[in-house]
C-alpha cells in the first residue's frame, strides 16, 4: 500500500512536468534571438547583440531599439554623404492597371503605371538585391499614389521628388526607406525623378500600357491607343496574343533606339532615327524588321479591322540622362 501511495503521485508529477514542457513554446537562446533580429532588420551582429542588451532580452523592445538606432544612424550618414555624386542607379517601372483586356489587374480599361530613377554612387551598389528591391518598392508606391492631373493633354505627370519622399508606406516614408539603406551601405542614394501614367481624360479611345526595362539602365513606358470596331475582340485569344506581342515589341523599340518622338522629330536638329514611326521595326523581327514601324502598325490595324491603333504617348529614360 505504501508503495502504491508513493508511485501514483510520482507518476502524476511526471505527467504534469511532461505537459508543462510541451504546452508552451520553448525559450529561445540568445543566439537564436540575435539571428532573428538580424533576419528582420539586416542589422550587423554587433548591433543585434547591443539591442538585446539595451532591452534586457525583450525581443519586441529590441526590434524597436534597432528601428530607432537605424533611423538616427541613417539620418547621420545621409547628412554626411549627401554631397557625394550619385551618377549610377536604376530605372524601375511599376504597372498597376494595364488597360483594356490586360491581365494586369482588372483589365477594365483603366491605366495606371509609374517610372522612377533611383541613383547611387557606384555601379556595384546599383546591382545589389537591396538596391533593386528599393527601386522596385518606390516605383510601386509612386504608382499607387494619388495626384491631381496637370492642366495638360499628356497622361504623364511629372511628380516633385520632395513630395514623393513624404509618401507613406507600411513602415514609414519613401524618404525613410532611402535613409535606412544609406545607413546599411554607407553610400549616398537619391531619388532623381518620377513620373505617373494615368488614364487620359475625355477620350473615345481604348488604352493599354506597354513597358520594357533593359538591364535596369534604360526604361520605356508606352501608352497604346486603339479603337476596336467591337469590344468582343478582347475575348479573342488570337487577337489578345497578337496585341501583346506587338506591344512588347513597341516598348522594346522605344527603349532600344534613341526614341524622342512618335510621328516627327522633337527638335529640328534631331536625327530621323529618333522618330519611332520612321524607324525600321527591328524589335518585332521577321519580315517586318526592315519595314517602318508605322507601316507595320497600319497593316496590323487593317488585319484586325481597327479604327485606330498606335502609340499615343511614351517616356524613355536612361540612367543619368535627361
- Looking at domain 88-318, its CATH architecture is 2-Layer Sandwich (3.30)
Asked if the model's pLDDT at residue 179 lies above 70, the reply is: yes
Domain with CATH 3.30.479.20 in the chain: 88-318
Q: Please answer whether residues 37 and 63 qualify as being in contact, where contact means their C-beta atoms are separated by less than 8 angstroms.
A: yes
Closest CA to 219 of 201, 193, 198: 193
Enter the pTM of the model: 0.79
Displacement of CA 67 from its chain's centroid (Å): 24
Asked if the model's pLDDT at residue 3 lies above 60, the reply is: no
Domain with CATH 1.10.8.10 in the chain: 32-81
pLDDT in tens, 83-123: 899 999 999 999 999 999 898 887 778 899 999 999 999 99
* Burial readout 95-120 (b: 16 or more C-beta within 10 A, e: otherwise): bbbbbbbbebeebebbbbbbbbbbbb
Name the CATH code of domain 32-81 (choices 1.20.1260.10, 1.10.8.10, 1.10.230.10, 3.40.50.300). Answer: 1.10.8.10
pLDDT in tens, 22-57: 444 457 888 888 898 888 777 788 888 988 888 888
The whole-number average pLDDT for the span 220-235 is 90
User: Which residues neighbour 162 within 8 Å (Cβ) at sequence distance 6 or greater?
Assistant: none
Which range of 7-21, 91-105, 162-176 scores highest in mean pLDDT? It is: 91-105
User: Which residues neighbour 33 within 8 Å (Cβ) at sequence distance 6 or greater?
Assistant: 52, 57, 59, 62
Amino acid at each position: 500500500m505504501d508503495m502504491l501511495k508513493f508511485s501514483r503521485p510520482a507518476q502524476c508529477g511526471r505527467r504534469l512536468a511532461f505537459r508543462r514542457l510541451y504546452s508552451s513554446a520553448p525559450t529561445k537562446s540568445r543566439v537564436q534571438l540575435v539571428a532573428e533580429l538580424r533576419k528582420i532588420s539586416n542589422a550587423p551582429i554587433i548591433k543585434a547583440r547591443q539591442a538585446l542588451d539595451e532591452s534586457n532580452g525583450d525581443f519586441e523592445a529590441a526590434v524597436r531599439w534597432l528601428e530607432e538606432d537605424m533611423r538616427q544612424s541613417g539620418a547621420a550618414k545621409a547628412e554626411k554623404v549627401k554631397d557625394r555624386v550619385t551618377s549610377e542607379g536604376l530605372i524601375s517601372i511599376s504597372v498597376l492597371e494595364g488597360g483594356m483586356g490586360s491581365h494586369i489587374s482588372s483589365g477594365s480599361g483603366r491605366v495606371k503605371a509609374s517610372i522612377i530613377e533611383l541613383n547611387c554612387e557606384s555601379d556595384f551598389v546599383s546591382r545589389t538585391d537591396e538596391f533593386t528591391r528599393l527601386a522596385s518598392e518606390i516605383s510601386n508606391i509612386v504608382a499607387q499614389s494619388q495626384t491631381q492631373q496637370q492642366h495638360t493633354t499628356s497622361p504623364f505627370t511629372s511628380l516633385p521628388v520632395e513630395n514623393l519622399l513624404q509618401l507613406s508606406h507600411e513602415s514609414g516614408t519613401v524618404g525613410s526607406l532611402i535613409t535606412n539603406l544609406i545607413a546599411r551601405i554607407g553610400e549616398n542614394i537619391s531619388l532623381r525623378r518620377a513620373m505617373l501614367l494615368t488614364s487620359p481624360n475625355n477620350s473615345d479611345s481604348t488604352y493599354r500600357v506597354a513597358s520594357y526595362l533593359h538591364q535596369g539602365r534604360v526604361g520605356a513606358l508606352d501608352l497604346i491607343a486603339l479603337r476596336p470596331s467591337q469590344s468582343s475582340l478582347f475575348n479573342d485569344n488570337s487577337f489578345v496574343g497578337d496585341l501583346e506581342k506587338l506591344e512588347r515589341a513597341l516598348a522594346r523599340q522605344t527603349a532600344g533606339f534613341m526614341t524622342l518622338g512618335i510621328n516627327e522629330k522633337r527638335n529640328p536638329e534631331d536625327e530621323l532615327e529618333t522618330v519611332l514611326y520612321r524607324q525600321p521595326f527591328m524589335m518585332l523581327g521577321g519580315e517586318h524588321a526592315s519595314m517602318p514601324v508605322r507601316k507595320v502598325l497600319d497593316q496590323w490595324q487593317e488585319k484586325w479591322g481597327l479604327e485606330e491603333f498606335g502609340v499615343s504617348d511614351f517616356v524613355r529614360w536612361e540612367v543619368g540622362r535627361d
